[in-house]
Structure 1
Amino acid sequence: MATVKLWTDEDVARDPAVKAVFDDIRTTRKSDFVNDFWRGLAHDAGTLKRVWEGLKAIMIAPGALDPLTCELIYIAVSITNGCQYCIHSHTAAARAKGMTDGQHGHMLAIVGMANQTNALVTGLGVAPDDVFLVR
C-alpha cells in the first residue's frame, strides 16, 4: 500500500509542473498509460522531474548498451534490492523489448549466482587479486 497519495489525472491537471512531466512521459513512451510509480512521485514535482529526466537519460536515450540489456540490468539490481514494483515493471519492459523466457531464466540464474558468490567472498574476507586492480 502506498505511503503517499497516488495522483489521478484530475490531480495532475491542476499542477502545471507535474502535468508537463506526465505529458512528457506519455509522449516519450507513446502511451496514455502513466504507471503508479510516477503517480506516487507526483506529490513532489521537483523529485518527479529529476527522476524522470534521469531515467530518460539512462534508460531511454541511446547509449553504449542496447535497451534490452539495460532492462536486464535493472531487473537484476531490483531483485538484489528486493523492489517488487521494479522487478515487475522492468520485466514487463524487457518482455516488450524482446526478452525471451530463456533469457529471463539465464539472467535469474546469474543474479542468484552473483548474490551467492558475493556473500561468500564477503564472508571470507577475500581481497581482490592484484591482477584485477586498475593501476
Structure 2
Amino acid sequence: MPLLPIEQGDAAAEVRAVYDDIKTTRDVPDVNNFWKVIAHHPATLKRTWESLKEVMGPGTLDPLVKEMIFVAVSVTNNCQYCIRSHEAAARRLGMTDAQFGELMAVVGMANETNRLATGYQVELDERLK
C-alpha cells in the first residue's frame, strides 16, 4: 500500500522548510506528491531536494536540455511519475511536440542499439578506447 502524501499543514517544521524552499525555487504554489511522499523520511527529502536543486540548477547545460535528459532517463527507467513531471517542466521551458517526438525517437533508438550491442557482446573499437 503506497504511503499517503504529507501535506504542508501536517508536516513537521523541517519538512515544511524543504517544502517552502521547493515552492520558492520552482515558483509553484504547492509541491508535487513525490516530495510529499518521501517526506515520510525527512532526511531523504532534504538530501534529495538539495541534490536535485544543485544538479538541475544553473550550469553549462541549458535548463530545457536538463529536463529533456531527465525525461529520457525516466522513459528508460519506466518511471511514469518522473516522465510526466519532467515533461511538464520541459514544456514550461518551451519544449515543443516536435522536440518531444524527436526525443522519444532518440530514446527508443538508444535503447535498441544499447540492447543489440549488449546482446551481441560487441567489443569496443580500439579508436574509441
Tell me, yes or no, whether TM beats 0.5: yes
Alpha-carbon displacement from aligned partner over 1:90-126 (angstroms, at most 9, x marks no partner): 0000000000111100000000000000010101000
1:30 Cα deviation from its structure 2 partner: 1.4
Aligned to 1:66: 62
Partner SS, residue 48 of structure 2: helix
Matching residue within 38, 41, 45 for 2:42: 45
Aligned to 1:35: 32
1:9 Cα deviation from its structure 2 partner: 2.0
Aligned to 1:108: 104
TM-score (norm 2): 0.96
* Identity fraction in percent: 53
Is 1:92 the counterpart of 2:88 in the alignment? yes
Q: Which runs of 5+ in 1 are unaligned?
A: none
Aligned length, in residue pairs: 129
The ranges of structure 1 where at least 4 consecutive aligned residues each deviate by more than 4 angstroms after the TM superposition are none
TM-score (norm 1): 0.92
Letter in 2 for 1:28: T
Letter in 2 for 1:24: D
Letter in 2 for 1:91: E
Partner SS, residue 32 of structure 1: coil
Separation in 2, partners of 1:4, 1:117? 37
Is 1:3 the counterpart of 2:10 in the alignment? no
Q: What is the aligned-residue RMSD (CA, Å)?
A: 0.9
